[in-house]
Amino acid sequence: MPSTADLTGSIDWGDGTSSAGGITGSAGSYDLTGSHIYTEQGAYTVSIGIDDTGDDTGGGSLTTASIADAPLSQGPTVNGSGIAGVAIDGLVGIFSDANPFAPTSDFTVTINWGDGAPATFGTISQPEGVGTLFDISGSHTYAVAGLYDTTVLVDDKGGSTTSEFGSENITSAPEPGTFLFCGAGVLFGFAGLRFRHPGECSARKTQSR
């Protein structure tokens, strides 16, 4: 019977990668072990090869590795704000995938804005790169002021899902004679009114000269 020193093992993992395997055992009974990370779910045909360097013989076998989709998890809650009649466009949810190799193309996102309007599709980005949190963005216009609960559903093409919950605090449009101000801007004068532009952060009354 060959010793483990005479045996070498190789493993083709079925996803375009292969590696050497470790062999343990004695007296004709041996175990081949290996380690591998699959980047996508699916069923993979694994090919195992064994060579006996002592007498130049070898053999092999096939098996199947069934890899399930990694779970998704909700990230920090996103609560936003806006003005009735003015489109909001920005972050509405954050989630993570236990598979650090998952690309944004794996996911489909729908957003329920909480005001009875039809759900819309969202866009996904990964600002900090592969293996980090995913950001969900969307655009919507609320017709009436109020506090709305949002629900974002994330579907992974492999079957995993997660729901993101947040809110949008929508205030009424400013009264006539007000303007929206957001930090420093260029000072303009027109028709006896002074105001700064651009901005949409807080309402201030226009001032006559």
Q: Please check the confidence at residue 23 and state whether its pLDDT lies above 90.
A: no
Residue 24, pLDDT score: 86
Residues 76 and 167 in one domain: yes
Residue type, 205: K
The phi, psi pair for 6, rounded to 5°, reads -90, -10
Q: How far apart are CA 190 and CA 112, in angstroms?
A: 42
Residues 127 and 100 in one domain: yes
What is the C-alpha R_g of the chain?
Answer: 29
Q: Please check the confidence at residue 90 and state whether its pLDDT lies above 80.
A: yes
| pLDDT tens per residue across span 28-87 | 788 888 999 998 888 999 999 888 877 767 778 889 999 999 999 999 999 999 999 999
Residue 179, pLDDT score: 54
* 3-class state of residue 207 by DSSP: strand
Residues 97 and 56 in one domain: no
Mean pLDDT throughout 9-29? 87
Cβ–Cβ under 8 Å, residues 181 and 202: yes
Number of domains in the chain: 3
Residues 25 and 59 in one domain: yes
∠ CA 194-197-199, rounded to 5°: 130
What rounded mean pLDDT belongs to the chain? 83
Q: What CATH number does the domain containing 13 carry?
A: 2.60.40.10
Residue 204, pLDDT score: 33
Give the pLDDT band (50/70/90) at residue 171.
Answer: very high
Residues 101 and 142 in one domain: yes
Residues 52 and 100 in one domain: no
Give the pLDDT band (50/70/90) at residue 99.
Answer: very high
Mean pLDDT throughout 162-181? 80
* 3-class state of residue 33 by DSSP: strand
Q: Please check the confidence at residue 194 and state whether its pLDDT lies above 50.
A: no
* pTM of the complete model: 0.70
Q: How far is CA 122 from CA 107, 128, 137, 155, 167, in A?
A: 10, 19, 6, 12, 16
Its sign, for the CA torsion 18, 65, 155, 70, is negative
Q: How far apart are CA 68 and CA 104, in angstroms?
A: 18
Residues 96 and 133 in one domain: yes
Residue 6 is given by DSSP the state G
Range of the domain at 97: 72-171
Residues 60 and 77 in one domain: no
